[in-house]
């Protein structure tokens, strides 16, 4: 954090007597640290995207994306994830308002949409493998399963985290440390939806159009 | 400032994901998420429509899809993650900018290098002939 700038601003700032002092509140430090983690996660995904783009044509005589992808399935997956992002936002508001019932309801709906997404994705993967288009078929399919599967793993981890937060709010209430975990979880879940935008555009839509 | 937390907030910063709300604003905050949801649905629907239609000039489709995706990422950042251009968000925006820089370098650099290698590599059948 830019200590110097902040200090200066306050020296020249209002005469209200408020001065910047000491380290930032824990909520900001924690949230900022987790924000850095999310950005590093996006850097990791960018490597997977680059790999996928490089290996896109290496089908080894096997099926290409447009032969395999079912866009209706992808559209439903996208809708599920977007809806879950929205309800996750509602859960954040409920947490800030310390409304346990609405928090649990919003989180449960978020969880249901997340599980629906995972079920659809698992279904898609299983049908690809059954059709002989598993990750071992070609470099293109290896890259496809790595990229999309990695996002799926993140969603799975997110759902475990979500259930943990529901349990912690239930047993411990809205303590400041629990609130910070909810903040980080919300960041994580929204970030997953942002990565999914890139996945459905680059992998599915461009793969079917081009 | 975003309300409801026990901790005292510094006047100059906001944690990523936290919202700057003036006055009492559950309704306002829900409205913000609804706006984000509406815009995201609109952009997603347009993406899927463009990908599957004959109405759009075909060579323009990839560019249109990429532009729509970037726009939707912006919508998510603003309405769901509450990353703004405000002074209380400077640190968050700077971190994001650095992340975007690395992402662009990794993706652009990989594609550039691999395309170049691909272009300069001898065709496979000629390599096989040389090995005989």
Q: Is the pLDDT of residue A171 over 80?
A: yes
- pLDDT at B23 (0 to 100): 61
- pLDDT at B1 (0 to 100): 43
CB-closest option in B11, B37, B114 to A82: B37
Stretch B38-47: mean pLDDT? 96
Give me B7's structure tokens.
């901790």
In angstroms, the Cα distances linking A197 to B62, B63, B73, B131 are 14, 15, 7, 46
Stretch A166-175: mean pLDDT? 96
Report chain A residues whose CB lies below 8 A from the CB of B72.
Answer: 197
Give me B49's structure tokens.
């429509």
- Rg for chain B (alpha carbons), in Å? 23
* Closest-CA residue to B35 (of B67, B82, B84, B75): B75
Contact at 8 Å (CB) between B31 and B17?
A: no
Give residues 170 to 209 of A whose Cβ lies within 8 Å of B.
Answer: 174-176, 179, 183, 186-187, 190-191, 193-194, 197-198, 200-202, 205-206, 208-209
Q: What average pLDDT is seen over chain A?
A: 89
Run of H or E including A144: helix A139-172
How far apart, in whole angstroms, are the C-alpha atoms of residue B23 and residue A201? 39
Contact A6 B12 (CB under 8 A): yes
Contact at 8 Å (CB) between A59 and B43?
A: no
Q: Count of alpha carbons within 13 Å of A209, Cβ hemisphere only?
A: 26
Q: Is the pLDDT of residue A1 over 90?
A: no
The tokens 């590093």 sit on which residue?
A40
CB-closest option in A32, A193, A200 to B16: A32
What 3-state DSSP class applies to B60? Answer: helix
Interface test with B, best of A78, A86, A172 (most B CBs within 10 A): A86
- pLDDT at A209 (0 to 100): 73
- pLDDT at A11 (0 to 100): 42
Give me A207's structure tokens.
């793969």
Cβ within 8 Å of residue A66, ≥6 positions away: A207, A208
A34 or A17, higher pLDDT: A34
A12 or B35, higher pLDDT: B35
Q: Is the pLDDT of residue A172 over 90?
A: yes
B127 or B9, higher pLDDT: B127
Stretch A117-125: mean pLDDT? 96
Q: Is the pLDDT of residue A7 over 50?
A: no
- The model's confidence at residue A59, banded by pLDDT at 50, 70 and 90, is confident
Report chain A residues whose CB lies below 8 A from the CB of B67.
Answer: none
Q: What is the DSSP letter of B89?
A: G
Q: Is the pLDDT of residue B5 over 80?
A: no
CB-closest option in B5, B16, B111 to A35: B16
Run of H or E including B112: helix B90-120
Q: Is the pLDDT of residue A50 over 50?
A: yes
Interface test with B, best of A5, A46, A74, A140 (most B CBs within 10 A): A46
- pLDDT at A129 (0 to 100): 95
- pLDDT at B10 (0 to 100): 47
Report chain B residues whose CB lies below 8 A from the CB of A93.
Answer: 26, 29-30, 33
- pLDDT at A164 (0 to 100): 97
Cβ within 8 Å of residue A184, ≥6 positions away: A30, A31, A34
Tally: H helices and E strands in chain A: 8, 0
Q: How far is B130 from chain A (nearest CA, A)?
A: 23
Stretch B24-48: mean pLDDT? 92
Stretch A139-158: mean pLDDT? 96
- pLDDT at A127 (0 to 100): 95
* Closest-CA residue to A120 (of A56, A77, A155): A77
Q: What is the pTM for the complete model shown?
A: 0.86
Interface test with A, best of B1, B51, B55, B98 (most A CBs within 10 A): B51
In angstroms, the Cα distances linking A11 to A1, A24, A102, B5 are 17, 18, 43, 28
- pLDDT at B49 (0 to 100): 93
Contact at 8 Å (CB) between A141 and A135?
A: yes
Give residues 10 to 29 of A whose Cβ lies within 8 Å of B.
Answer: 10, 18, 20, 24-28
Stretch A31-45: mean pLDDT? 96
Stretch A90-97: mean pLDDT? 94
Stretch A151-164: mean pLDDT? 97
Stretch A27-54: mean pLDDT? 95
- pLDDT at A6 (0 to 100): 44
């Amino acid at each position: 954090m830019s200590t110097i700038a902040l200090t200066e601003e306050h020296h020249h700032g209002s005469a209200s007597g408020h001065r910047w002092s000491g380290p930032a509140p824990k909520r900001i430090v924690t949230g900022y640290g987790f924000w850095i983690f999310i950005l590093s996660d996006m850097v990791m995904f960018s490597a997977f995207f680059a790999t996928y783009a490089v290996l896109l044509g290496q089908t080894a005589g096997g099926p290409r994306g447009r032969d395999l992808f079912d866009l209706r399935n992808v559209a439903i997956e996208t809708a599920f994830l977007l809806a879950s992002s929205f309800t996750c936002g509602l859960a954040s508001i409920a947490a800030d308002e310390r409304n346990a019932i609405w928090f649990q309801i919003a989180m449960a709906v978020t969880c249901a949409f997340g599980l629906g997404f995972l079920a659809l994705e698992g279904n898609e993967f299983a049908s690809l493998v059954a059709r002989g288009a598993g990750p071992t078929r070609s470099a293109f399919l290896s890259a496809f399963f790595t990229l999309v599967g990695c996002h799926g793993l993140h969603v799975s981890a997110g759902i475990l985290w979500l259930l943990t937060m529901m349990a912690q709010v239930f047993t411990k209430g809205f303590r400041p440390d629990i609130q910070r975990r909810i903040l980080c979880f919300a960041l994580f879940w929204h970030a997953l939806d942002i990565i999914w935008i890139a996945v459905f555009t680059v992998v599915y839509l461009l793969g079917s159009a081009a | 400032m975003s309300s409801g937390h026990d901790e005292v907030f510094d006047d100059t910063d906001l944690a990523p994901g936290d919202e700057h709300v003036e006055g009492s604003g559950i309704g306002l905050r829900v409205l913000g998420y609804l706006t984000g949801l509406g815009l995201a649905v609109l952009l997603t629907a347009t993406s899927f429509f463009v990908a599957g239609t004959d109405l759009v000039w075909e060579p323009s489709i990839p560019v249109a899809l990429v532009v729509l995706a970037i726009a939707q990422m912006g919508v998510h950042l603003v309405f769901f993650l509450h990353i703004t251009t405000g002074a209380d968000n400077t640190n968050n925006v700077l971190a994001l900018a650095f992340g975007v820089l690395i992402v662009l370098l990794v993706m652009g650099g990989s594609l550039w290098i691999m395309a170049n290698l691909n272009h300069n590599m001898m065709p496979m059948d000629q390599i096989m002939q040389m090995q005989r």
